[in-house]
Structure 1
């Protein structure tokens, strides 16, 4: 009986080891308007950047133009893409189409000006 319990405990411990060996993101998050490109995080981590304009602060509208859109298989729907753009402060989003590189492209309004916008497979939003 003791041997069975020991074997069971050992099997449980070995079974949990893959979960314990998961990799963790390196670098720091991108708070306080630090761009994700400069945050030092893992290059391969799929997370959106923080280069988004603040609709309440017109001086930040140029920030999104520096965001780099990456090619890749994009699973966002048109509705999800539109919401992401609206959350970034863009209004009247229209003409959204996914190009052959997986980037959603369209037009929108920001502070009364028409701008071309894009959203990549990570959810990065950029004015173009």
Structure 2
């Protein structure tokens, strides 16, 4: 019985390989994953792509980046949310891309 318990424990330990220890398949396409926080941008200009943010989520994301009075939001042909907002007392054009990058118009 003891042998069976030791064997079962050994098999369980062999199955518990840390996720990072296994080799990962090569990634096809660019490695431009979505941004996970509002204080981090992958790009200093909007990145074109299929955008899954709703208008409400886009507004919240832009406000989370320090803008207020967000208005006139619309999604353009490239999948970028665009509108107007205030920051530091100045009204500016602002955009939100599919990665979550919030950028002022340049």
TM range (shorter): 0.5 to 0.7
Q: Which of these two proteins has the greater Rg computed from alpha carbons?
A: 2
Q: Which is worse superposed, 118-127 or 102-111? A: 102-111
1:120 aligned to 82, 97, 100, which one? 97
1:50 aligned to 26, 40, 58, which one? 40
TM-score (normalised: structure 2):
0.65
Aligned counterparts of 2:53 and 2:7: Cα–Cα separation in 1: 47
SS at structure 1 position matched to 2:50: coil
CA deviation after TM superposition for structure 1 residue 22, in Å: 6.9
Quick one: structure 1 residues 112 and 75, their matched pair in 2 at CA, closer, same or farther if it must change by over 3 Å? same
Structure with the bigger RCO (C-alpha within 8 Å, sep 6+) is 2
2:45 aligned to 60, 64, 68, which one? 68
Corresponding position of 2:27: none
CA deviation after TM superposition for structure 1 residue 93, in Å: 0.9
Q: Which has the higher strand share?
A: 2
Q: Is the 8 A contact 2:55 2:73 kept in 1?
A: yes
CA RMSD of aligned residues (A): 2.8
Aligned counterparts of 1:87 and 1:116: Cα–Cα separation in 2: 16
Q: Is the 8 A contact 2:33 2:99 kept in 1?
A: no
Corresponding position of 2:10: 10
CA deviation after TM superposition for structure 1 residue 124, in Å: 1.2
**How many residue pairs are counted as aligned between the two chains?**
95
Q: Which has the higher helix share?
A: 1
Corresponding position of 2:80: 103
Unpaired runs of 5+ residues, structure 1, are 24-42, 52-65
Unpaired runs of 5+ residues, structure 2, are 24-30
